[in-house]
Amino acid sequence: MSTPVWEQYMAPSLRVLSDGQIHRGREIVEAAADLLGLTAEQRQVMIPSGKEQYRNRGTWALSYLSRAEAIERPTRGHYQITETGRKLLIAHPDGITEKHLHALYGERGTPRARRRLSQNSTPTEAPFEIEEATALDPDEQIAAGIARITSDVVDQLLIRIMGREPVFFEQAVLDLLLAMGYGGAEGSATRTQLSNDGGIDGIIDQDALGLSRIYVQAKRYSADSVIGRPAIQAFVGALAGQQANQGVFITTSRFSADATMYAAQVPARVVLIDGDRLTRLMIRYGVGVQVKRTIKIVEIDEDFFE
């Protein structure tokens, strides 16, 4: 069963409001979801911002209905159907889309905008325009765009890492762990010598005295390579040789299921980070990347209008 898109919440929302009473926004969204037959699983789907997807889509449906003057907001967070909304529901009881709003109000936008134009006044804001129909609400469109950009940067990071010498990768891994907060306020990170390192590529001291240490192994392999259990066993052996109980194995490739299972079972705390997680952590903590542009997203300050 497919998840209803935000447009599909408009008709059910108007049906909830058809009793003429004033309802809270959250109440309308929940009732509309019930009318749409959303399952418990569908209500648990989250969008990247951490909000439930169905509530986000329902809220955007109310926003568009309000812009089209199909509903009005007498008080903060509360809605009531208008005569325009009743006519809209009668005309399209089985579903309302942006195109229906566009056809109802014509090319110039909302009734309010049309009244301004009919009075030969100059509108101070752009009239309501219908965007290309999409299954995603505006928040989800932003998240999807960011996800596509991030995916592209992930690929580029791996290409750049593979194009540099192994010692560069080892240092980049240590820089990442420090950026993540490992090493503490006075800790440090040390890259071991190229030879005779005993299977350890780096050491992070969690405190100034080095009483707590994290041992790191960084292996740069092609993306289609798979690191199996023997490599993890060798790393665990290297940890034992250092009398260490915690280590991080980081690679540009991926781990086999057997290797992952083995790492979870050994007494020492061993964390495995594959290429995809590595690059996403680099993006999150600003290692090897920089902010290209900051976009400010605004919303109405309800307290200002109280």
Could you tell me whether strands 213-219 and 78-81 are parallel, antiparallel, or unpaired per DSSP bridges?
unpaired
pLDDT in tens, 71-97: 998 988 899 999 999 999 998 988 988
CATH architecture classification, 149-284: 3-Layer(aba) Sandwich (3.40)
Is residue 104 pLDDT above 70, yes or no? no
pLDDT of residue 132: 41
pLDDT at 269 over 80: yes
Domain residue ranges of the chain, discontinuous segments joined by +: 6-135, 149-284
Q: Stretch 259-280: mean pLDDT, rounded?
A: 94
CA angle 183, 230, 169 (to 5 degrees): 40
pLDDT (0 to 100) of residue 244:
85
Asked if 55 and 132 count as a contact pair (C-beta separation under 8 A), the reply is no
The fold adopted by the segment(s) 6-135 is Four Helix Bundle (Hemerythrin (Met), subunit A) (1.20.120)
Alpha helices, H only, 4-110: 10-17, 25-36, 40-43, 53-67, 83-91, 98-105
Region 231-257 average pLDDT:
92
Say if 6-135 and 149-284 have the same CATH topology: no
> Which pLDDT belongs to residue 186?
63
pLDDT at 212: 78
The dihedral sign for the CA sequence 74, 75, 76, 77: negative
Lowest mean pLDDT among 186-195, 198-207, 270-279, 290-299: 186-195
Q: Which pLDDT value is given to residue 194? A: 46
Per-residue pLDDT at 187: 61
pLDDT band of 133, cuts 50, 70, 90: very low
List, edge to edge, every strand of the sheet that includes 188-191.
188-191, 202-205, 213-219, 246-251, 269-273
Pairing of strands 23-24, 78-81: antiparallel
Assign 115 a pLDDT band (cuts: 50, 70, 90): very low
pLDDT at 227: 94
pLDDT of residue 113: 43
Q: Among 215, 216, 273, 265, which Cα is nearest to 243's?
A: 215
